[in-house]
Amino acid sequence: MLEATNGAEGLMRLREAGDVSAILLDLRMPVMDGWAFRREQRLDPAIADIPVVIISGADVDRFGELGAAATFEKPVQMSEVAVMLHRLCNRTS
């Protein structure tokens, strides 16, 4: 599991990590928010196909623009998020 405090750090860690099964993303982060992170991720062929699960209390009416595998509006039951992440991490290629 990788952790990052902002989108820029997240991109750096993903590019260094190699094999990542899923990304859990909040839209509100310092330095680089989730919107900018998602734009950059989609432009990088090495990490563009990693599925993204979004948790946010902001911009919920725009979730569809992000092309995420799943979206959750805060407050959310973390058990629901865990089920989705488990599903994504165990998908067959």
Domains of the chain, by residue range, sit at 7-89
Within 10 Å of residue 83's Cβ, how many Cβ atoms?
A: 12
The CATH superfamily assigned to 7-89 is Response regulator (3.40.50.2300)
Residue 92 has pLDDT above 70, yes or no: no
Q: Record the pTM.
A: 0.90
The CA–CA distances, whole Å, from 23 to 20, 57 equal 8, 17
Q: Is the dihedral of CA 78, 90, 3, 53 positive or negative?
A: negative
Question: What does the pLDDT look like over 45-63, one tens digit per residue?
Answer: 999 999 999 999 988 899 9
The Cα–Cα gap between 90 and 74 comes to: 25
11-31 pLDDT, tens per residue?
A: 999 999 878 999 999 999 889
Instruction: Tell me what pLDDT residue 91 has.
Output: 79
CB contact at 8 A, 29 and 60: no
